[in-house]
């Protein structure tokens, strides 16, 4: 199993519409990518390691797939449509990570 993490860096000027992300963007991505998506999660940053520190990321969205190839072949044809929706919910540019799910 692999996980694609889309991490939106926090900053004093960062904006993120979590309702749009959860109710419009994620459902759109799930429908476009189809049944190769095995699971997903959305985290909204509250704090850093200390409760008065800023969270490093304002939000983190993850999707899981059986293989990297499943992600690539389902995502690439829709990449432009998905990426062009980003300004509708944030003024940040996400960092993307592909991981092997170990536990």
3-class DSSP assignment, residue 84? coil
Rule CB under 8 A: is residue 72 a binding residue for its own copies? yes
Q: How far apart are CA 94 and CA 88, in angstroms?
A: 14
Rule CB under 8 A: is residue 103 a binding residue for its own copies? yes
- Report DSSP state, residue 75: H
Binding mask 20-59 for its own copies (x = CB under 8 A): --x---x-------------xxxxxxxxxx-x---xxx--
Closest CA to 88 of 1, 3, 15, 33: 15
Q: Which residues bind its own copies (CB under 8 A)?
A: 2-3, 5, 7, 18, 22, 26, 40-49, 51, 55-57, 60, 68, 72, 95-103
């Amino acid at each position: 199993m692999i996980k694609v993490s889309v991490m939106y860096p926090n900053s004093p000027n960062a904006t993120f519409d979590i309702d749009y992300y959860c109710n419009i963007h994620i459902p759109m991505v799930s429908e476009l990518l189809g049944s190769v998506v095995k699971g997903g999660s959305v985290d909204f940053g509250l704090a850093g390691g200390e409760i008065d520190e800023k969270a490093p990321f304002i939000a983190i969205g993850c999707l899981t797939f059986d293989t990297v190839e499943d992600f690539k072949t389902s995502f690439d044809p829709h990449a432009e449509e998905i990426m062009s929706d980003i300004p509708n919910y944030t003024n940040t540019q996400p960092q993307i990570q592909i991981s092997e799910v170990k536990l």
